[in-house]
Structure 1
C-alpha cells in the first residue's frame, strides 16, 4: 500500500470553489481501480487548511490517478486557490 498526504492552504475567498471542485474529484477517485481510500479533512485549529489522505494499492494506481482530468484541473487551479504551497508527503505502512 502507498499513502499520500496533501495539505492544502486555501484562501478564504476561494474556499467554496475549492470545495466544489475537490468534492467532484473525491467522488470520481473513490471508484478508480487501486484506490483504497480518499478522504479530505479540515483542521479544527486552522480554518481553510485541509488534509487529503489517500491510500493506494500500488504505485501504478497512483500513476493512473495522476492522469485524471479532474486531478489535472485541480492542480491547474491551485495557484488561484492556494494561500501558500501545498505540502505533500508519501509513505508506506510499516510491516510488522
Structure 2
C-alpha cells in the first residue's frame, strides 16, 4: 500500500502596508514549488472578504516530499522574513482526503 497524499492548507495574513510585497512574494513561490517532484497541487487563493488573507492549497505525494519542500531556499527565505511581512503567524494545517 502506498503512502496517502497529504493536503496542506497554509493561511497567510499580510500586514496591510506590506500587502503588495506579500502578494508578489507568495506568487513567486508557485513556479518553483510546482516543479518539485512530490508536488501534486499548489495553488494560491486570496480572500474576497479581506485582501490581506491568502491561503495556499497544496497536495503532496507524501510527508517526505512536504518535508523536502519546507527546506527549499525560496521557502526558507519567505519564512525568515515572515515576521516583518505578516500580521499573524503562518497557520499551517495538514489534512488527508476521506475516501468512500
CA distance in 2, matches of 1:65, 1:5: 14
Extract unaligned runs of 5+ from structure 1.
none
Q: After the TM superposition, which parts of structure 1 deviate over 2 Å for at least 4 consecutive aligned residues?
A: none
Structure-1 separation of matches of 2:24 and 2:54: 14
Q: 1:17 aligns with which of 13, 21, 33?
A: 21
Map of 2:74 onto structure 1: 70
- The two structures have a TM-score, normalised by structure 1, of 0.94
Give the Cα–Cα distance (whole angstroms) in 2 for the partners of residues 19 and 47 of structure 1: 10
Cα distance in 1 between the residues matched to 2:72 and 2:20: 22
Taking structure 2 as the reference length, what is the TM-score of the superposition? 0.90
Match of 2:57, SS state, is strand
Number of equivalent positions: 96
RMSD: 1.0
Answer 1 or 2: which has greater strand percent: 1
